[in-house]
Amino acid sequence: MTTTAPKQGTNLLYALIAEARGYSDAIILGRGDPDFDTPPHIIEAAKQAMIEHHADDVPPEGLLSLRQAISERVKRVNGIEADAETEIVVTNGGQEALLLMVLTALGPGDEIIIPEPNYNTYHDALKFARVNKVSIPSSAETHFRTDPEKVRAAVTERTRALLLVSPNNPTASVIPQDDLQALIGVAAEHDLIIIADDIYDLFIYDDYKHVSPASLPGGKERTLTLNALSKSFAMTGWRLGWVTGPADLIQRTKALKAGITGGTSIISQYAGLAALTGPQEPVQMMAEAYTRRRRLVMDALDDMGIQYGIPQGGQFVFADISFTGMDSAELAQRILSDQHVLVYPGAAFDKERGQYIRITFLQPEDKLREGLERMRVAMKRVLGSG
Ligand SMILES: Cc1ncc(COP(=O)(O)O)c(C=O)c1O
């Protein structure tokens, strides 16, 4: 079965996914949700909560016991001081957290500076909030580094916020501490709110180091930080995340949360409590698996002569396929039709990203290995040497 995919947008991705579903031997190399199961002790805690707490009242900002566990977690892992009573809101996953952060920090006509490429849903949230984005492009050659001086030069009198997603999706770049401190300096000079997304903070490779802006001098008082359990505990479907930040901003986030969705499911909150206070070995196990898979992907791309930004953190590689002379939509279509392997074309996320594909580490090693081998065969054919 071969279909001709439209050139860009989510329709493109849906068309490719639909085609892949039609192949019994398809391997999806672009997916974004972890392939691991939620650890069993978390599921047990949720079962218990169903029995004991199903009719409890849920405050919009979340259970105090969970907020205390979050406060402890962000201090231990990120060096962020967040008061459980006044500086934390529990959310329906990272997705709600990011919308709440945007609505807290920005209003119609305001500007936000965004290093690009970046996580697509921010663009949707900004459209929803009628906020204008000012993009700072980056490329695979510099491993998608964002130069703080470029950010400084992009500030206008309408700029109100700066988005920092580290490790980034899709580029997998991690902002080094020096750059981060310089970016906080720019934000302080122009009184900007920093919207920080730490969702991949537990998956960091080689000697790269993740630092949260809110942990650095001058950072805490102007930073809203998102995190969630979707990636770290393989809990995508539980919808459990949070925002931390200074009490005045969090007061607004809490009011928005109360008006938009009210409290987060009590069952998921108890599951989250078990995740944060229980054994942390499952996270370590997943991090080690991603480290091995990352190596497989990098070796395969090196072998195919494809350039990419070194994945410094996160769960993916963003690879530049411009040397093929093809748009990413066309290339993804060719690889899929020829070898039943689906890589996600950058064009599916943003028309500016047509030269990239995203490959994730979210398949078991044997499947990943086979998918990469088939991709190599397809690339050879595409380049006319196979
Ligand atoms: C950078 C980033 N932020 C937030 C989210 C949303 O996470 P969640 O699945 O918890 O809604 C994602 C999901 O892929 C992400 O990549």
> Would you say the CB of residue 98 lies under 6 angstroms from ligand 1?
yes
User: Token digits for 336?
Assistant: 């899929």
Residue 13's pLDDT is what?
A: 86
Q: For residue 95, which atom of ligand 1 is closest to its CA?
A: 11
Tokens 């997916």 identify what position?
31
What is the sign, positive or negative, of the torsion defined by CA atoms of 117, 118, 119, 121?
Answer: negative
Residue 242's pLDDT is what?
A: 98
Distance 50 CA to ligand 1 centre (A): 26
Residue 7's pLDDT is what?
A: 54
Distance 325 CA to ligand 1 centre (A): 31
- The rounded distance, in Å, linking the Cα atoms of 121 and 173 is 18
> Would you say the CB of residue 132 lies under 6 angstroms from ligand 1?
no
Cα first-last separation, the chain: 22
Residue 386's pLDDT is what?
A: 60
Nearest Cα to Cα of residue 268 among 49, 39, 94, 36? 49
Q: Which H, E and C letters describe the chain, residue by residue?
A: CCCCCCCCCHHHHHHHHHHHHCCCCCEECCCCCCCCCCCHHHHHHHHHHHHHHCCCCCCCCCCHHHHHHHHHHHHHHHCCCCCCCCCEEEECHHHHHHHHHHHHHCCCCCEEEEEECCCHHHHHHHHHCCCEEEEEECCHHHCCCCCHHHHHHHCCCCEEEEEEECCCCCCCCCCCHHHHHHHHHHHHHCCCEEEEECCCCCCECCCCCCCCHHHCCCCHHHEEEEEECCCCCCCHHHCCEEEECCHHHHHHHHHHHHHHCCCCCHHHHHHHHHHHHCCCHHHHHHHHHHHHHHHHHHHHHHHHCCEECCCCECCEEEEECHHHCCCHHHHHHHHHHHHCEECEEHHHCCHHHCCEEEEECCCCHHHHHHHHHHHHHHHHHHCCCC
> Would you say the CB of residue 203 lies under 6 angstroms from ligand 1?
no
Nearest Cα to Cα of residue 362 among 282, 290, 284? 290
Residue 71's pLDDT is what?
A: 98
Give 330's contacts (C-beta < 8 A, 6+ positions apart).
none
Q: For residue 229, which atom of ligand 1 is closest to its CA?
A: 10
Residue 5's pLDDT is what?
A: 46
- What residue ranges define each of the domains in the chain, with the CATH number in brackets? 10-32+282-382 (3.90.1150.10), 40-277 (3.40.640.10)
Distance 95 CA to ligand 1 centre (A): 6
- The rounded distance, in Å, linking the Cα atoms of 317 and 308 is 7
pLDDT in tens, 64-122: 999 999 999 999 999 999 999 999 999 999 999 999 999 999 999 999 999 999 998 99
> Would you say the CB of residue 119 lies under 6 angstroms from ligand 1?
yes
> Would you say the CB of residue 169 lies under 6 angstroms from ligand 1?
yes
Q: Which residues of the chain have pLDDT under 70?
A: 1-9, 385-386
Distance 198 CA to ligand 1 centre (A): 10
Residue 350's pLDDT is what?
A: 76
Q: What is the pTM assigned to this prediction?
A: 0.95
Ligand 1 atom 4, closest CA: 94
Residue 8's pLDDT is what?
A: 60
Mutate to test the pocket of ligand 1, among 98, 126, 163, 229 (most ligand atoms within 8 A of CB): 98
Q: For residue 230, which atom of ligand 1 is closest to its CA?
A: 10
Ligand 1 atom 12, closest CA: 94
